[in-house]
Amino acid sequence: MRVLGIESSCDETGVALYDSDRGLLAQALYSQIDLHAAYGGVVPELASRDHVRKLLPLIRRTLAESGLNPADLDGVAYTAGPGLVGALMVGAATGRALAWALGVPAIAVHHMEGHLLAPLMEADPPEPPFVALLVSGGHTQLMWVKALGQYQLLGETLDDAAGEAFDKTAKLMGLPYPGGPQLAAAALKGRSGVFRFSRPMVNRPDLDFSFSGLKTQVLLAWQASTRTQQDMADIALAFEQAVVDTLAIKCERALERTGCRRLVVAGGVGANRYLREQLQERTARRGARVYFPRPDLCTDNGAMIAYAGCLRLQAGQSEPPVVTCAPRWDLAGLPPLSPALG
Ligand code: KG4
Ligand code: ZN
């Protein structure tokens, strides 16, 4: 089955072609970073308009690169939520209309299911059941994945998402949008131990997170410092260590609670090098294993939507000929993809 995937939930237009026999055939991504940088964050109306401009050329390019014609498609998948409603509508309307015109089924994909399933596109993929840590700009969740499509929330952030905390912290030290990768780059020159920030909520037995207080700690440290490049690097490193340590402690706890030895990490913050190193080390120490997608499949992309859509179409699911999207959407409410194990 050959599925075209469309991602347009936020500030990236992503398109990809996934073939259930041959894997990923082609993908294209357009980032709106330059468009939003002047405003220090994503401007929803500008995002929607830019998706309108870029989506059809990207679809044509992806088809050309894979050597396929529109008539070769067996289905179209598009992100239907969560995300910015105007941006989502561009992908949903285009994807649904294309499927209608071609007479093939369309499938509305949950953006976070796309992230969660992305590691399964890699060689030697994890078998469910597994624990999944979803860390993006809008979400920080620990999920128990009993079977594909069966998601049980173990814990989540009570305020800022991990990526949001990275972005806001970077911004208050004057780093440009998007702050996560910039702050991680600054941290490479930081000296360990010069600053130390707390690990929020690790003394509570639950698997929830809270990252909003960390940015206040950073603000106070930054204001009290001489605000040199070295101060920024030292603070960035201490912040990164605090976030990564907190995520890792709760991941280990989730593995303990579920008795599972497989951890899957997905979403933009999953591209963070220090997080990857720490989770590799800590899971290996306890005889468990962590699975990440390659870094460019951690951040938003069309491939994960094509893949998740392909699995759901193969399971016989599809949408009626109506364009809808869901800016807020609960992952745990999705229909199963396969019978639950055990
Ligand atoms: O999954 P994603 O691309 O979009 C959403 O679904 O939100 O995640 C974007 C988030 C942003 O907050 C970005 O700053 C963060 O992921 N991010 C990183 C890194 N790369 C992206 N955070 C820390 N270190 C990175 N290397
Ligand atoms: Zn995302």
Closest Cα to residue 184, out of 235, 116, 119, 247?
235
Residue spans of the chain under pLDDT 70: 339-342
pTM: 0.97
With the most atoms of ligand 1 within 8 angstroms of its CB, the residue from 136, 183, 215, 240 to mutate is 136
pLDDT for residue 339: 57
Do residues 86 and 48 make contact, with C-beta atoms less than 8 angstroms apart?
Answer: yes
> What residues are in contact with ligand 1 under a 6 Å CB criterion?
10, 115, 136-138, 163-164, 166-167, 178-181, 184, 267-269, 271-272, 299-300
Question: In angstroms, rounded to a whole number, what is the distance separating the alpha carbons of residues 114 and 123?
Answer: 17
pLDDT for residue 56: 98
| Nearest atom within ligand 1 for CA of residue 9 | 6
Do residues 254 and 142 make contact, with C-beta atoms less than 8 angstroms apart?
Answer: yes
Protein residue closest via CA to atom 8 of ligand 1: 268
- Tokens in use for 157? 């952030």
Within 8 A by CB and 6+ apart from 3, the residues are 17, 18, 19, 20, 73, 74, 75, 76, 77, 306, 307, 309, 310, 313
pLDDT for residue 338: 75
